[in-house]
Structure 1
């Protein structure tokens, strides 16, 4: 089949790879000049999400104060935004949290296997490093993490629960004063450079053939016919007028994997998904003092701020801002941007003081989609020729590899090797 993939971020590139591996010819359409230039560019280093950093559950927005929960709520929420928060809040119940994570876990494990296969085949090096240390401040917050620890034990996920003294003994950069509640070490989980990984996969596809990348192309609409599917491209700025036929790409199927840009395309087809945009922030700071720099990634488990080392710099990711969807295309505003970046700087100062030169940090801001049940939207939608792969949220970028494999199998007419309730939980019509 000829499959058109809309989106050249990590999800689109991973989907293109898996489609090609399944024997399809692929055309990737991306509005930027190359891959990994949108939300992928600012991904934190954590590869696969643990129960402690999925964006739902007992610790997610458990406090109304943004300084404590790590999520800033912009004033002026409308009805859909309030409804979105209410639905996510329902997953703070430990039983609901456990059920939802159980549906997500097969995708995490499928992604782990898919990434391992890609690394082994092509000897990929993308700044991988082992070890994540999740830290928790107060006794109350430590109590809130217990359902996640129960899930870790239930699924026999390798981890170590550490006292503050043990955290400091393992990671010398973590101070014991002021006091904190404790930590959870995942010595087998990894951090890595997501944009670099996406570019390496793109390079691999270029070498293999069978995948065409069209950059600087904005999709304006999707056409669905009985046995065919096509996308219409918007005229390039400054380009001479051309016949409309030249601006249409035809194929046998379309996969929409364009992150936040997916929503208007799908709405024009009549598919309205209640996914909410989440504005995320990132600081890339040079290391100030080598003796203060961590040797494993540090994650603030409640604020969901990840600090990972990449050569001589630290990537500090988080600082989420929730606002009405209608405001997401407008500038955030200086005061809110400063507040979000201050959260990142403060977390770095709290957990690894002296390690980062925050004054010389390069900031980044981007938009990611989060669903009201915390799960991605993957599979067929509306029409036999239309497929979606979006709504992965900020937690872990490695799930894109498993999601791409799911899409490739569904496009190929095969039943994916994951539980039926997981597939059903990802469907676009579940809302």
Structure 2
């Protein structure tokens, strides 16, 4: 089959990779000049989510106060935004959290297997590092992590619950003052350079053939018919040019993996994804003092802020701003941007003082989609020729590989590897 994939980030390129492995011909349409230039570019690097850093559950968004949450909720929210926060809040109980994570777990396992297969098969090196240390500030946060620890034990994920003294003994650069409650170490947890992986995977596809990349092209609309599917591309010529021909690419199916742009592209078909936009931030700061740099990746468990070494820089990622759905294309106010970046700077000073020159940091911001029920939107979107791979959230970029495999199996008409309850829970048209 001929399949059109909209989006050249991790979700789109992963989808193209899995579709090609299943024997399909693929055309990837990306609006930027090359792949991995949108939200993928600023990813924190967490490869797969654990119960401690999924963006739902007891430790996430406990209230709307900036001082205690890693998410800034802009004031003046209307009904949809309040409903979104309320749905997330329903997953804070231990029972609801465990049930939702149990549905996500098969996708995590499939994604890990797919990532390892691609890495070993093509000898990819994208700056992988093992070892994650999740830190909690107070005893209240520590108690809220207990359901996550139960899930780590349930799914037999090797980990170590540590006291504050044990955290400092393991990572000497964590300051003892101000006091903190402790942490959890997951030795097999991985960080890696997501945009580098995407570029290497594109090179694999270029060498293999069967996948065409159309970069610098924006999709203006999708057309669906009973026998074919097509995308309409915005003209390359400037708007004032007199001759503008509409270009159309046809295929047997369309997969929308365009990040935040997924929502407006599928809206004409009556598909309302349970996804909401988050504006994420990253600081890439030069190393100030080598002896102060943590030797492992540190994650503030409650604020969902990751601090990791990337070559000669320290990358601090998080600072989410929850927006209204109609604000996706609007720039943040200066005050909101400063608040988000202040959270990142504070985390750096708290957990790795002296390691980074924050004053010389390069700031990045980009849009990610977060689901109200903790799961991405993956699979058929209500029309036999329309599929979606979106909403994986800020933690766990390799989930896109597992999602892509499910989509490739659905398009191929083969039996999916994932259990039926997980497939139903991931469906873009779920209730």
Q: Separation in 2 of the partners of 1:327 and 1:231?
A: 25
Residues 36-89 of structure 1: CA distance to partner in whole angstroms, max 9, x if unpaired?
Answer: 111101100111100000000001111332121111011110110000000000
In structure 1, the gaps of 5 or more residues are none
The secondary structure found in structure 2 opposite 1:428 is coil
Residues 246-304 of structure 1: CA distance to partner in whole angstroms, max 9, x if unpaired?
Answer: x0001011001001101111012222223110110000011110100011100000000
Q: Separation in 2 of the partners of 1:374 and 1:51?
A: 11
**1:400 Cα deviation after fit:** 0.9
Equivalent residue for 1:139?
Answer: 139
Q: Separation in 2 of the partners of 1:385 and 1:96?
A: 33
Equivalent residue for 1:356?
Answer: 356
Q: Does 1:177 align with 2:177?
A: yes
Equivalent residue for 1:149?
Answer: 149
Q: Is the 8 A contact 2:16 2:28 kept in 1?
A: yes
Q: Separation in 2 of the partners of 1:241 and 1:271?
A: 34
The count of aligned residue pairs is 429
Q: Is the 8 A contact 1:377 1:427 kept in 2?
A: yes
**1:242 Cα deviation after fit:** 4.3
- Return structure 1 stretches of 4+ with deviation > 3 angstroms: none
Q: Does 1:114 align with 2:114?
A: yes
- TM-score, normalised relative to structure 2: 0.98
Equivalent residue for 1:402?
Answer: 402
Equivalent residue for 1:282?
Answer: 282
Equivalent residue for 2:164?
Answer: 164
Q: Separation in 2 of the partners of 1:390 and 1:94?
A: 26
Which deviates further from its counterpart, 324-333 or 188-197?
324-333
What pairs with 1:13-162 in structure 2 (closer than 5 Å)?
A: 13-162=13-162
Q: Separation in 2 of the partners of 1:280 and 1:377?
A: 19
Q: Is the 8 A contact 2:271 2:429 kept in 1?
A: no
**1:100 Cα deviation after fit:** 0.2
**1:327 Cα deviation after fit:** 2.0
Residues 174-219 of structure 1: CA distance to partner in whole angstroms, max 9, x if unpaired?
Answer: 1122111111001111101001110110111111110000011111
The secondary structure found in structure 1 opposite 2:429 is helix
Q: Separation in 2 of the partners of 1:66 and 1:187?
A: 30
**1:396 Cα deviation after fit:** 1.1
Residues 281-330 of structure 1: CA distance to partner in whole angstroms, max 9, x if unpaired?
Answer: 00001111010001110000000000111111111110000121112311
**1:237 Cα deviation after fit:** 4.3
The secondary structure found in structure 2 opposite 1:430 is coil
Which deviates further from its counterpart, 272-281 or 123-132?
272-281
Residues 370-419 of structure 1: CA distance to partner in whole angstroms, max 9, x if unpaired?
Answer: 11101001111121111111111111101111111111111111121111
Equivalent residue for 2:243?
Answer: 241
The secondary structure found in structure 2 opposite 1:315 is strand
Q: Separation in 1 of the partners of 2:135 and 2:405?
A: 33
Aligned-pair Cα RMSD in Å: 1.0
The secondary structure found in structure 1 opposite 2:169 is helix
Q: Separation in 2 of the partners of 1:59 and 1:391?
A: 20
Pair 1:135–1:86, CA change in 2 (3 A): same
Q: Is the 8 A contact 1:75 1:323 kept in 2?
A: no
Q: Separation in 2 of the partners of 1:272 and 1:237?
A: 32
The secondary structure found in structure 1 opposite 2:423 is helix
Equivalent residue for 2:309?
Answer: 309
Q: Is the 8 A contact 2:131 2:190 kept in 1?
A: yes
Pair 1:240–1:396, CA change in 2 (3 A): farther
The secondary structure found in structure 1 opposite 2:153 is helix
Q: Is the 8 A contact 1:45 1:315 kept in 2?
A: no
Equivalent residue for 2:266?
Answer: 266
Residues 95-124 of structure 1: CA distance to partner in whole angstroms, max 9, x if unpaired?
Answer: 000000000010111010000000101111
Q: Is the 8 A contact 2:222 2:265 kept in 1?
A: yes
Q: Is the 8 A contact 1:173 1:293 kept in 2?
A: yes
Q: Is the 8 A contact 2:377 2:428 kept in 1?
A: yes
Q: Does 1:293 align with 2:296?
A: no
Q: Separation in 1 of the partners of 2:387 and 2:145?
A: 36
